[in-house]
Amino acid sequence: MLYIIDTANLDDIKRCMEYFPVAGVTTNPTIISKEHTGFPDLIKAIRALIGDEKMLHIQTTGTDAQTIVKEAVLLRDFVGGDFYAKIPISPEGLKATMQLKKMGIKVTETAIFTQQQAMIAAQAGADFVAPYINRLDSIVSDGVHVVSEIVKMFNVHNIKSRVLAASFKNVEQIHKIALAGGHAVTISPELFNTLTYHPLTDRAIESFNADWQSVYGDKGVLDVFER
């Protein structure tokens, strides 16, 4: 399962790229607006930071297919590298998806809340479908169940589209998506820290360090090899 960062904050992207195995970056208009800066410069800076090899998913804002296609082409040409046009699902979005696929532009169909939205997006050619887990859980629905059924449908029908689950608030949701066969998750920088933290891990490290120091003092592994 791929881990992707759901932010446009350059400091957070830099830190997560340094410390975690990150496959790329996803943004949406809400995330972009939080940075209060020029959009073109920001997405160019994100691409420069992550390099051409990593995925960069950038959302279109047009409401008709023609505009969405124009935006996706412009964004692809502007940021380059491994680019995905993130398109909210709608009839116009699906129309744009089919046209973009013919043009060789990769698409992530986003704002997915149901299994059939995912299925039809996949049939339109979406490379990824992005169901919103916590937003489903928040309305007493079940985000993990929706993802597990999407994964099952894609397997049964031999569909190549992948599931990029989004909208997470805790580690339990991420873990259950991994068990359900989700192909990727996009999560906040804060959740990367939470994923890797456990108080027993800290206690184990403290105990290892105390035992080592009782014999070798302040010397580390490199120091004891020095002659």
Q: Based on CB atoms, which residue is closest to ligand G3P, 99 or 108?
A: 108
Q: Is 86 designated active site?
A: yes
Q: Which of 14, 44, 86, 101 is catalytic?
A: 86
Query: Judged by CB, which is closer to ligand G3P: 58, or 221?
Result: 58
Do 40 and 58 contact (CB within 8 A), yes or no?
Answer: no
Q: How far is the CB of 26 from ligand G3P (least distance, A)?
A: 6
CB of 150 to ligand G3P, least distance (A): 16
Q: What are the tokens at 51?
A: 């390099």
Q: Which residue(s) pair with 192 in the sheet?
A: none
Q: Is 138 helix (H, G, I), strand (E, B) or coil?
A: coil
Distance from C-alpha of 28 to C-alpha of 15, rounded to nearest angstrom: 20
Which secondary-structure segment (H or E) carries 128? strand 128-131
Torsion of CA 27, 101, 96, 51, to 10 degrees: 20
Q: Which residues contact ligand G3P (rule: CB under 6 A)?
A: 6, 26, 28, 132, 134-135, 166-167
Nearer to ligand G3P among residue 60 and residue 167 (C-beta): 167
Tell me which residue has its CB nearest to ligand G3P: 167
CB 83, min distance to ligand G3P, A: 16
Q: Which residues are catalytic?
A: 86
